[in-house]
Amino acid sequence: MNTITETQYVGEATMITSDCIAIAFKRPTGSNPVNVNGYPLADGETFTVSQNVGDVDRTQYQVYFGAGAGSDECYVFRTLILDGYQNG
């Protein structure tokens, strides 16, 4: 199986559709509070969800921010399967 990792910056409340085999949400240190589907990420924490081999996560993740003195920022990393990729 061939994969690629996609990185996405999130700076406002949004919905992220997974459609991948692994997804991670990173709250940078010093940023405003971040919640992913109601789960609060601690300062500097990464929340990761990964599937069994051959499975794809179809979850829609709601990302939203709380009040704070920092900036609203979260990084999302998705590991995607490359369909139709041919080696060589």
- Each residue of 12-35: pLDDT tens digit? 999 999 999 999 999 999 999 999
Say if 10 falls within a structural domain: yes
How many other CB atoms are there within 10 angstroms of residue 9's CB atom?
A: 8
Distance CA 65, CA 45 (A): 14
Say if 11 falls within a structural domain: yes
Say if 12 falls within a structural domain: yes
Say if 73 falls within a structural domain: yes
Q: How many domains does the chain have?
A: 1
pLDDT in tens, 35-59: 999 999 999 999 999 988 778 999 9
Which CATH number does the domain housing residue 8 bear?
2.60.120
Residue 42's domain spans which residues? 3-81
> What is the SS3 assignment for 51?
coil
Predicted confidence at residue 84, as pLDDT, reads 53
Closest among 19, 5, 9, 83 to 51, alpha carbons compared: 19
Say if 87 falls within a structural domain: no
Say if 67 falls within a structural domain: yes
Say if 88 falls within a structural domain: no
